[in-house]
Structure 1
Amino acid sequence: MSELQDNALLLRLIPFSDSSLIAHLLTEHHGRICVLARGARRIKSPFRASLLQLQQLNIRWKEPRTGTMGTLLESTRLKSLVDEKQSLSGQSLLAKASTLFPDGVSQGYHELFDAFTLLQNRPEDSGLNAACWQLFEDAGLVGDLESCWHCGESIAILPLSYWFNGHLLCDKCSNKHGMAISLGLKKAIREHMKNPNCKLSREQTMSWSHMIKQVEQFHKH
């Protein structure tokens, strides 16, 4: 069994026996892995202070002889990913990433790290939206806001397009069903993704949140 070392982001911890934990992590060079942290639930375990979510970690683990679950040997905290005030949003982002990047995938670390950077650098009310949108773009769940996602026709100058079942559609493809999306909202989302100083109105933030929820609902089926 060889030992490996890599930077990692902790997605979730699952109790295993009375004293151990199973850790699911996205690693920088080895994709998503699952490792057993023996004794991690014990009071004096070094993992209690080092195996934490919302931290960039550096871990060392031993590959399994059989199966897919290795054994965690060491975990070191490198830096916090978000401020304490963004911790709830950070937990929500981890849950979404855990679904988007399932066991066995080779990517996810850089995508999630970039999403956390967006979350940290945006206002509290819209930061999670921006971070989720970035994850969705990287996972191919959302496209650009310039064309209909069904027929490909340009909607860049149309006063209204429509958000239906997690997709941005033109008049014809949507039959004008769904939530109306104005040019102003599309522009605001684009600018907010690029510029942390671009603020969204409460109404724009709520509309964007609704769009994101529909994407999640559509891809659950």
Structure 2
Amino acid sequence: MGNINTISTQGVVLRTAGYSENDVVLTMYTRGLGKVTAIAKGAKRNRSPFTASSQLFSFSEFVLKKQRGMYRVIQADIIKSFYDISYDLDAFSYASYISRLVENSSLENQTNHRLFNMLVKTLYLLSEKGTDKEFITAAFELKFSDYMGICPVVDVCSLCGDDTGNYSIFNIEEGGMVCKRCAGNLQNNIILDVTTKKLMKYILENDIETVSRAKVNRILTKELSKLMKKYMTAYMSNLNLKSLNILYDLNHYKKGAD
């Protein structure tokens, strides 16, 4: 673009923070730069060209300029606002969770194109009615762990490499599935439905969009979701479950009220 300090890239807003009366600081995950922080001058003003692109979860084409160690938004063209997510408590909670997951686990200026594509596709899925949002979030976590290099072993025993497939025992400390022989020497084994093991392998081998079309019953979804929360908590020191805990508490309250 004629300026070495200027770059055009797609990006998703992960977090917003007021900077002054009219300015907003955006934490974004971008295709071209990875995670970056950028200031959108005047984004709070009426009729600002940056207002729509400065909203949480918004997906836009940004032109950013590096100034004094920080990026500044000099142009923003909205691709998808995902504004409807804010009207659905479940969608908002899960979208907030995966956004924080990406934010807290990504280094500044470190790109991951697979993660960027999955983030955008998952926001699209969460914004659609009829999506099993808990299942999609659990699938996101599993694929995310793969992209971060902490993927659980799901197709062989994580200790001896046995690949007979005649077991469905998971051990978080050992990083995945274990065979019955190895499981006998371990504590805290988790017995899974054999279909959950197959489901995990299917998720890892397919795109999140393809995965979303799978018909998965509630029991398997709950088992996978519970397992992934335990696994992510063990392998990610900065995991933030606040938005999900609020959602679970509210859903539990509603059930009690009914």
Structure 2-normalised TM-score?
0.72
Going by fraction, where is helix more abundant, 1 or 2? 2
Partner of 2:145: 136
Q: Are 2:157 and 1:148 aligned? A: yes
Q: Which moved more, 1:44-53 or 1:201-210?
A: 44-53
Structure 2 residue ranges without an equivalent (≥5): 238-258
The 1:166–1:204 alpha-carbon spacing in structure 2 relative to 1, beyond 3 Å, is farther
Runs of at least 4 residues off by over 4 Å: 80-83
Aligned residues: 217
Q: Map 1:59-208 to 2 at 5 A.
A: 59-64=62-67, 66-67=68-69, 69-79=70-80, 84=85, 86-107=91-112, 109-118=113-122, 120=125, 123-149=132-158, 151-165=159-173, 167-170=175-178, 171=180, 172=182, 175-191=186-202, 194=206, 195-208=211-224
In structure 2, C-alpha distance between the alignment counterparts of 1:101 and 1:127, rounded to whole Å: 21
Select the residue among 35, 38, 47 that pairs with 1:32: 35
3-state SS of paired residue (1:47): coil
Task: Check whether the contact 1:55–1:81 (CA below 8 A) recurs between aligned residues.
Answer: yes
Task: Check whether the contact 2:27–2:35 (CA below 8 A) recurs between aligned residues.
Answer: yes
Partner of 1:46: 49
- The alpha-carbon deviation at position 77 of structure 1 amounts to 0.8
The 1:155–1:116 alpha-carbon spacing in structure 2 relative to 1, beyond 3 Å, is farther
In structure 1, C-alpha distance between the alignment counterparts of 2:174 and 2:82, rounded to whole Å: 29
In structure 1, C-alpha distance between the alignment counterparts of 2:65 and 2:120, rounded to whole Å: 28
Task: Check whether the contact 1:11–1:53 (CA below 8 A) recurs between aligned residues.
Answer: yes
- The alpha-carbon deviation at position 113 of structure 1 amounts to 2.2
Task: Check whether the contact 1:129–1:212 (CA below 8 A) recurs between aligned residues.
Answer: yes
Task: Check whether the contact 2:168–2:177 (CA below 8 A) recurs between aligned residues.
Answer: no
Partner of 2:230: 214
The 1:156–1:27 alpha-carbon spacing in structure 2 relative to 1, beyond 3 Å, is farther
The 1:104–1:159 alpha-carbon spacing in structure 2 relative to 1, beyond 3 Å, is same
Please tell me the residue identity of whatever aligns with 1:70: Y
Structure 1 residue ranges without an equivalent (≥5): none
Superimposed CA distance per residue, residues 79-119 of structure 1 (whole angstroms, 9 cap, x where no aligned partner)? 35696454442222111111121323232x54132244256
Please tell me the residue identity of whatever aligns with 2:74: L
3-state SS of paired residue (1:63): strand
Structure 1-normalised TM-score?
0.82
